[in-house]
């Protein structure tokens, strides 16, 4: 999707560790590798993380552990170790900080980085992302996916396209090409209720939202929400 000359302004990175808690468990206990691993304890607890082998059975974060066990009885359920996750997260964030002081952590396993000021020294957003991924894996033995774009909103969506263990760049002149085929639920601020309202209007994709008059969206969703979604649909 990307071409080198147009990537210069794509300097906002969204970095998300792949199945972080489960990946840490596998890293600390190599015997778990290649097996379905679920982090979560107690029949009444909830799943904190599931590796990609476990996700093939439909197991997802926030699902009751009891239900996950019924879906994949053979999976290995690991008791969470929050101190360990914090330790690994701190080391990963140190790697991010070595590239730019503009790091915005979202959680233990996810952050936005603005690497605009590092381009002259370290290269394009893509090149910096490649090096971050290399260092995280070399240092901590886990993988991450990175989205690179001109805004946080698009960078986060690019990470979804990159997962697992990948890199996806959306140059400035490809933003609408990337955004418009996506479902309306991809827009920030669109929960189940708003998605239902949009679909009642016959709007199923971001492209359809973008080509709906802003006033129509405001009447249907409220002034603030209508303005917000219209702007996002045009990559703003």
Q: What are phi and psi of 124, to 5 degrees?
A: -70, 170
Burial tier of 21 (Cβ tally within 10 Å: 0-12, 13-18, 19+): buried
Q: Which of 235, 63, 48 lies closest to 155 in space, CA to CA? A: 235
Sheet holding 37-39, edge to edge: 49-50, 37-39, 76-78
Tokens representing 214 are 């802003």
Q: Which of 174, 150, 148 lies closest to 159 in space, CA to CA? A: 148
Q: Which of 164, 165, 209, 167 lies closest to 186 in space, CA to CA? A: 209
Tokens representing 69 are 């066990």
What is each CA distance from 72 to 21, 29, 55, 76, in whole angstroms? 18, 20, 10, 9
Catalytic residue ranges: 110
């Amino acid at each position: 999707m990307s071409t080198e000359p147009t990537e210069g302004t794509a300097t906002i990175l969204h970095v998300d560790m792949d199945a972080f808690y489960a990946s840490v468990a596998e890293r600390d206990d190599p015997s778990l590798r290649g097996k379905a691993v679920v982090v979560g304890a107690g029949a009444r607890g909830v799943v904190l993380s599931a590796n990609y082998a476990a996700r093939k059975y439909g197991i997802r974060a926030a699902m009751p552990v009891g239900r996950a066990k019924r879906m994949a009885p053979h999976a290995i359920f690991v008791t969470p170790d929050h101190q360990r996750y914090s330790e690994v997260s701190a080391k990963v964030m140190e790697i991010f900080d070595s590239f730019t002081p503009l790091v915005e952590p979202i959680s233990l396993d996810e952050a936005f980085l603005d690497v605009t000021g590092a381009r002259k020294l370290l290269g394009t957003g893509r090149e910096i992302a490649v090096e971050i991924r290399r260092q995280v894996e070399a240092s901590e033995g886990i993988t991450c996916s990175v989205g690179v774009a001109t805004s946080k909103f698009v960078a986060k969506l690019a990470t979804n396209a990159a997962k697992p263990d990948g890199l996806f760049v959306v140059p400035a002149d490809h933003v609408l090409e990337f955004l418009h085929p996506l479902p309306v639920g991809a827009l920030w601020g669109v929960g189940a209720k708003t998605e239902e309202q949009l679909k009642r209007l016959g709007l199923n994709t971001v492209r359809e939202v973008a080509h709906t008059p802003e006033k129509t969206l405001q009447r249907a969703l409220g002034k603030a929400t209508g303005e917000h979604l219209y702007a996002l649909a045009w990559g703003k």
